[in-house]
Amino acid sequence: MSPPANAEVEKARRVEHFELARRINLARKGEVNTRTLALPPPQLELLERFALGDAGAVWLREVADDTLRLFNKGYLEYDQDMWRRALKSGHMPRLSRLLTGRLTEAGQFAEDAQVFKFGAYSGPGAMAQPGGIGLGDAGLRCHFPSSNELVDPHAILSHEFGHTRYGDPDSAGTLLGEARTVERYENPVRIRNGYEPRTLYFERTNQGNLEPGRGSLLDRLKILEREKGISIVDQRAVDRYHCDCPGPLPVILNCEVRQRPGTDGVADPAFEHNCKLNWKPNPMNVDSPPDAGKLPPLLK
């Protein structure tokens, strides 16, 4: 894809990518899972503003590339009458108008025809999985409750994209993964939009979810030790991180495991504690997205 000739061309490209997402990538009620809702107007408007902004343009371009790949493989239906008229006139319609939004029969049975979806759910905030992003119908807070730092909605969306297949889908579910996602995908957007970098991530390990959680902070760090080679005893690989969990031990304090045996000699579990992670953000030259010079031009 050639670089835009000017800001107007870039703006038109962003509009087209959002229209493609509106046609292809919006989930219907119950489509992703039984709790998925269609995006209500405020969340759809937020997604549109994000798509037309600089950070959103980068992510929506990834989604549009996926759509083009599916179309080239014959997985997406298109308006054949419109296509025939276009061949006669020589004027090609925009892809967002040509596509019907439905999968072809081949696409319905193809394992590699996994359409990325934006949907809603009942509640606040936003969440992600490798193949989609959910926006809570209660919206986003103005401040993070644990730190009182201002929330940048566009940076939150970029953070969630970081958990999808377009970023690092293995990053969710651990405090360290979340902190690195903040540094790599959220803070560059916050800085570009005039916000201070976020320096605290708060994880509630007991939120009363309908489904069981992934385990306590201690359990998650043990998984990191087992699967990623990070030592709990010697946390040199993550020594910039400071964890502080209130309540009875065992907890992670200064990223060291400290256990207090219970009455039966077995260490008490840490399931019921709220834990937060403070850190000094990395300079943006490490593990960060393209620098500002490589991003699309700012639109006035």
pLDDT at 290 over 50: no
Read off the pLDDT of residues 41-68 as tens digits, 9 standing for 90 and up. 999 999 999 999 999 999 999 999 999 9
Read off the pLDDT of residues 66-116 as tens digits, 9 standing for 90 and up. 999 999 999 999 999 999 999 999 998 999 999 999 999 999 999 999 999
Q: What is the pLDDT of residue 223?
A: 61
DSSP the chain: -PPPSSHHHHHHHHHHHHHHHHHHTBPPTTSSSTT-BPPPHHHHHHHHHHHHSHHHHHHHHHHHHHHHHHHHTT-EEE-HHHHHHHHHH--PPPHHHHEEEEE-HHHHT-TT----EEEEESSSSEEEETTEEEEETT---SB-TTT-PBP-HHHHHHHHHHTSTTS-TTSTTSHHHHHHHIIIIIHHHHHHTTPPPP-EEEEES----SS--S--HHHHHHHHHHHH---SSS-GGGTTEEEE--SSSSEEETTEEE--B-TTSSBPP-TT-EEEEEEPPPPTTSS----GGGSPPPP-
Q: What is the pLDDT of residue 227?
A: 59
pLDDT at 195 over 70: yes
The distance of Cα 212 from the centroid of its chain, to the nearest Å, equals 21
Q: What is the pLDDT of residue 217?
A: 52
